[in-house]
Amino acid sequence: MSQDERMKVLVAEDDSTSRTLLYAVLTKKGYEVIAVENGADALEALQKEAHPPIAILDWMMPQMDGVNVIKNLRKAERSQPVYIIMLTTKHSKSDIITALQSGANDYLAKPFDIGELTARVSVAKRMVELQASLADKIKELETANDQIKTLSGIVPICANCKNIRDDSGYWRQVEEYVSNHSEAVFSHGICPDCMEKLYPDIWKNINEQPNED
């Protein structure tokens, strides 16, 4: 989500007064609010590909209550889960446990305090942004991992010329084979043994030079 794009919040509330209040408060705080008045419409909106990442669901709603909306949504969880705040007049510990066990991330009792509401939505926004950031990092790591080439297993190599047989049965020079199976880049030089064998006069002069140390 770009900096100029407002975060979407779904509000599912059958009471028109509460729904209007939630819409006004969250819109003023800079959120893009999608308001529905029953559970079926809420579930439909949250199952879309470009669904709102945050949802405030009333527990008691026509057609489908908030708990069942959450249960249906969590059955087919996608890579970008919805952060859900349950809003209800139910206050008992057993009700809170039921809401959280159904898959709600947070719980807010009616009548709600506007300051508490906006604070909890701010927490939800930070969590959504963190999840999106982690998802991006995972994708970057997966892409990097796919690009990494490695050598493994038994590599057939000629005992004399040191050429290597590839998977197609062709014999390749060591540097060609390694370059095709790794990210290595070769810088060629001559080792002392080869220097002595190929250029004996030069090697002799080098070794006959006095040691300045």
Rg (CA), the chain: 33
Q: Give the model confidence (pLDDT) of 14-62 as tens digits.
A: 999 999 999 999 999 999 999 999 999 999 999 988 899 999 999 999 9
Fold (topology level) of 8-145: Rossmann fold (3.40.50)
96 Cβ partners below 8 Å, 6+ apart? 90, 107
pLDDT for res 53: 94
pLDDT for res 12: 96
pLDDT for res 148: 59
Instruction: Return the ∠ at Cα 182 (arms to 180 and 183), rounded to 5°.
Output: 110
Q: Could you give the CA distance from residue 31 to residue 129 in angstroms, rounded to a whole number? A: 14
SS3 assignment, position 17:
helix
Contact 85, 56 (CB under 8 A): yes
User: In the chain, which stretches have pLDDT less than 70?
Assistant: 1-4, 77-79, 146-153, 183, 209-213
pLDDT for res 123: 95
pLDDT for res 204: 79
pLDDT for res 3: 47
- Residue span(s) of the chain under CATH 3.40.50.2300 come to 8-145
